[in-house]
């Protein structure tokens, strides 16, 4: 059975695509046939998939079986408006079966499928689904990417508690960017004192992949 890992975050612009590309590279270096899908991308104008194109280029460089895959197969559902999918779609019902078919095709080429979400966990997909519900639906474990700036304690705990409440196996990782030098002083002490292992996207990818594979 293909291992499914859903990459989510505490909000938009936290680093999901960046992290997903590093995961692809690290899992491939361990000998796995890797695959990726981003079920929904918004802000796709004129056929330009900003995240999807990056993901497709990354996976094609690591798994030759994806050489004939098109970006529209990596991103089966897209909208022009850069907004929550529910709004961007004009409040239409989400075509989850279309995503199921895309996943079925891509999983024939890989052993690990990375599923990149859009925005955070409570981004509305339609009237029935929030993004967190898709993790359950796809029977995936979750990688929660959080930030390192002031406020990350609150943002991280809210999202992790939501995953835990639904019984979704998950791992938290920190994507520290330039300007986040205060993290070690103002936020990291809380996580260390309360039992969080502070794994960073920039330096701990080997361990992150090992933990994810065994979730």
23-46 per-position pLDDT tens digit: 999 999 999 999 999 999 999 999
Tokens 């936290």 locate to: 14
Q: Write the pLDDT tens digit of every residue in 129-188.
A: 999 999 999 999 999 999 999 999 999 999 999 999 999 999 999 999 988 999 999 999
Which helix (H) or strand (E) segment holds residue 189: the answer is helix 188-193
CA distance 49 to 109: 22
SS3 for 3? Answer: strand
**Residue 3: how many other CB atoms lie within 10 Å:** 18
83 Cβ contact list (under 8 Å, min separation 6): 42
Tokens 């689904």 locate to: 129
Instruction: Give the DSSP per-residue string, 195-209.
Output: T----BTTT-HHHHH
Residue span of the structural domain in which 182 resides:
3-213
CATH of the domain at 163: 3.40.50.300
Given a cut of 90, whether residue 1 has pLDDT beyond it is: no
Given a cut of 90, whether residue 190 has pLDDT beyond it is: yes
Residue 178: DSSP 8-state: T
Show which residues are catalytic: 38
- Residues 114-120, mean pLDDT to the nearest whole number: 96
Backbone angles phi, psi at 23, to 5 degrees: -65, -45
Both tokens assigned to 121: 């966990």
Residue 44: DSSP 8-state: -
In this prediction, residue 59 carries a pLDDT of: 98
Is residue 40 within 8 Å of 78, Cβ to Cβ? yes
Please count the structural domains in the chain: 1
Quick one: how far is CA 86 from the chain centroid? 19
Is residue 78 within 8 Å of 42, Cβ to Cβ? yes
């Amino acid at each position: 059975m293909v291992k499914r890992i859903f990459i989510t975050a505490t909000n938009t612009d936290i680093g999901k695509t960046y992290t997903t590309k590093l995961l692809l590279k690290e899992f491939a270096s361990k000998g796995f046939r890797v695959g990726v899908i981003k079920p929904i991308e918004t802000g796709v104008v004129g056929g330009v998939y900003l995240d999807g194109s990056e993901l497709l280029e990354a996976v094609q460089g690591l798994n030759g079986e994806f050489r004939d895959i098109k970006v529209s197969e990596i991103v089966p559902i897209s909208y022009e408006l850069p907004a929550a999918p529910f709004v961007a779609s004009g409040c239409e019902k989400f075509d989850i079966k279309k995503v199921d078919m895309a996943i079925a095709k891509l999983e024939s080429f890989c052993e690990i499928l990375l599923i990149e979400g859009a925005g955070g966990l409570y981004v509305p997909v339609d009237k029935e689904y929030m993004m967190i519900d898709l993790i359950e639906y796809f029977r995936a474990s979750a990688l929660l990417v959080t930030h390192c700036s002031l406020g990350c304690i609150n943002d991280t705990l809210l999202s992790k508690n939501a995953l835990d409440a639904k019984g979704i196996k998950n791992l938290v990782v920190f994507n520290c960017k330039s300007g986040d030098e205060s993290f070690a002083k103002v936020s990291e002490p809380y996580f260390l004192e309360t039992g969080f292992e502070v794994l960073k996207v920039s330096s701990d990818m080997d361990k992150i992949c090992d933990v994810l594979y065994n979730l």
